[in-house]
Structure 1
Amino acid sequence: MNKVLRHSVAAFALAVVFSAVGVTETKAQGILNEILKRMDNHNKNLTSLRAEVTMVKFNAQLKDSETTVGTAIYRPRPGKDALVRIDWRKPDESLAVVDKQYIIYRPRLNQAYQGSTNSAQGNAKAGGALAFMSMSKGQLRQNFEVAYLDEGTLSDGTKTVHLELTPKTRQSYKSAEIWVDANGMPVQSKVTEHNSDTTTVLLSKLEKNITITGDKFKIVLPKGTTIVKA
């Protein structure tokens, strides 16, 4: 900003700037509240979900990305964390998340990995990314600083609004972003770690409120499977 300005011009310029900022912030806050309300209503009405899932993991140091595709099923539970299962096609493996514990089964290696979602690595991170779907408006406000960023269109053509979630307390990741469709459904999430690696999860071909029984989320390990504690 120029240091030498006539007082009247400076006062007018500053008034215009601060007025514009105030209007913009008020408008953004209004949009954010409407989005969170829409998400809350959608969350309350969602009893189950089946969808195609695409996960892209980006290594910031190597500037390299890896894409994995599969099918996800999801079922929220009142007062508990949602049930999640993803069956990846490439590579061939299955992930189930129950009560913040995950299990990954890799049939080709006859191995299973078990651990906590709080310290999840690799494809287990997808379960954590899907956790944003089950958060209520109150939970989002309680755990994150939520900011409205912009509107956009995803790679599958879905029009969305884009939110940034910054944890209020230190987590295993630095920040998260979610893209919410017109129905209030978070259809894409992106988690950025402290080392700037990212995991982006996109949901498509959504089937909502269908019958998915609890046994579908259990991975039955064949006899002789080697179990590795992560």
Structure 2
Amino acid sequence: MKLKFMRKCLLALALSAGAASQAFAGGLDEMHQFVSQVKSASGDFSQRQMKPVKGQVGALEPTGTSSGTFAFARPGKFVWLYQKPYQQLLQADGQTLYVYDKDLNQVTERPLGNALGASPAAILFGSNDLDKNFTVKDGGTKEGVDWVELVPKAQDTQFKRIGVGFKAGNLDSMELYDVFGNVTLLSFQNIQKNPAATADRFKFVVPKGADVIKG
């Protein structure tokens, strides 16, 4: 269950970086600058899972928290490492997605293909064709954060809508609303934009003795 949850959380999901905005003219401008100017990034993230409270319309309750680090180079290359409450790695080299569960010493491997598609991961790790996969609109400003709302155009996606928040020109947070009423809240810290990276930064090496499962 742990492996399945984490894989769904990023593959169906997502994660992070900062955008440079000269005038900070609102969330839409900052979003477009993010996808066009930030080709790679690294930083820290924290994640909270929320689920609907039975019998209470609109109410949510926490189901878990996690945190870790990330790095990406668009399109399709990333390292998303959960460090707490336990370690799990999601990594892609542009062609293949690897999910490594340290406790099980197990790697699940599958073609990346068009898996990013209209998922939240496409916002961070994909190309800059967000308008192709999402209906994008301004989400207003709340508590100093400029929001953009993205609704997937595909009918078979797991997510109903995605909120992306920018603050002072940097990506600050994401809110992921799935079709079951669950909400994933992501916040980002210590972001480095377009850092220098080695050629093998996103090359996955199977840990010694790990079982490999083709997904």
Residues 40-83 of structure 1, C-alpha deviation per residue, up to 9 Å, x if partnerless? 2343332321110112222336744211111111112xxxx231
Q: Tell me, yes or no, if the aligned pair for 2:40 and 2:71 is still in contact at 8 Å.
A: yes
**1:225 Cα offset (Å):** 0.9
Letter in 2 for 1:182: A
Q: Which residue of 2 aligns with 1:73?
A: 71
Residue number among 117, 122, 139 corresponding to 1:131 in the alignment: 122
Match of 1:87 in 2: 81
Structure 1 residue 215 displacement after superposition: 1.6
Task: Looking at secondary structure, tell me which structure has more helix per residue.
Answer: 1
Distance 1:38 1:214, change over 3 A: same
Report the RMSD for the aligned CA atoms in angstroms.
2.9
2:31 corresponds to 1:60? no
Amino acid at match of 1:112: V
Does the Cα contact within 8 Å between 1:52 and 1:71 map onto a contact in 2?
yes
Residue 187 (structure 1) aligns with: 172
SS of alignment partner, residue 176 of structure 2:
strand
Deviation at 1:87, TM superposition (A): 1.9
**Unaligned residue ranges in structure 2 (runs of 5+):** 1-24, 55-60
Change in CA separation of 1:113 and 1:72 when aligned onto 2, cut-off 3 Å: same
Q: Number of paired residues?
A: 180
Match of 1:218 among 203, 206, 210: 203
Question: How far apart are 1:211 and its partner, in Å?
Answer: 1.0
Matched to 1:225, the amino acid is A
1:58-207 correspondence runs (5 A): 58-60=50-52, 63-76=61-74, 81-90=75-84, 91-99=86-94, 101-115=96-110, 128-133=119-124, 134=126, 136=128, 139-153=129-143, 159-170=144-155, 171-183=157-169, 185-207=170-192
Residue 193 (structure 2) pairs with residue 208 (structure 1): yes
Structure scoring higher RCO (CA < 8 A, sep ≥ 6) equals 2
- Give the superposition deviation at 1:109: 1.7
Provide the C-alpha distance between the structure 2 equivalents of 1:112 and 1:43, rounded to a whole number of angstroms: 30
Larger radius of gyration: 1
Q: CA deviation at 1:101?
A: 4.3
Confirm or deny: 8 A CA contact 1:129 1:201 kept in the other structure: no
